[in-house]
Amino acid sequence: MTIEARGDIPVVKALFDAARAARECAHAPYSRFKVGAALLDEQGRIHAGCNVENAAYPQGVCAEAGALSALVLAGGTRLQAVLVVGAGDKLCTPCGGCRQKLREFGADTLPVLIADPTGLRAQFTLGELLPESFGPDHLDTPAPEARP
């Protein structure tokens, strides 16, 4: 079932608005490819992030990673939805590294919505983007407890 089919249109709009606003703050002087991401946590809060490039290219940060840092800082532990905004003819889906980072906090069924600055273009589940993924449930350790 898609996030829209569950009646979450106001949530999708809030995620889109947050990701689009974050994208405008991106620091992308080298690629000129700005990306914004917004995450919905288990408490219904939205956490946004933007890509931050660095002259030493491997040292940059993806929008999804920045949003995940904001989620953790706020005490969030589980993802309910992800929305990524990027421009261009092709879909701006999370990179492989970000897919794995999202997996740390999200299930295979996690909705991952893809948009450009004008609106939604596609929706996937994390399981579709990262099939047969490795995650916390593979490790023989107790799950981290939520912080107060």
Q: Of the residues 64, 104, 132, 145, which is catalytic?
A: 64
Beta-strand ranges (E) seen in the chain are: 35-41, 46-50, 79-86, 111-116, 119-125
Q: Is 64 a known active-site residue?
A: yes
Q: Which residue intervals of the chain are DSSP H helices? A: 9-24, 63-73, 96-105, 126-129
The end-to-end CA distance of the chain, in Å, is 32
Q: Which active-site residues does the annotation give?
A: 64
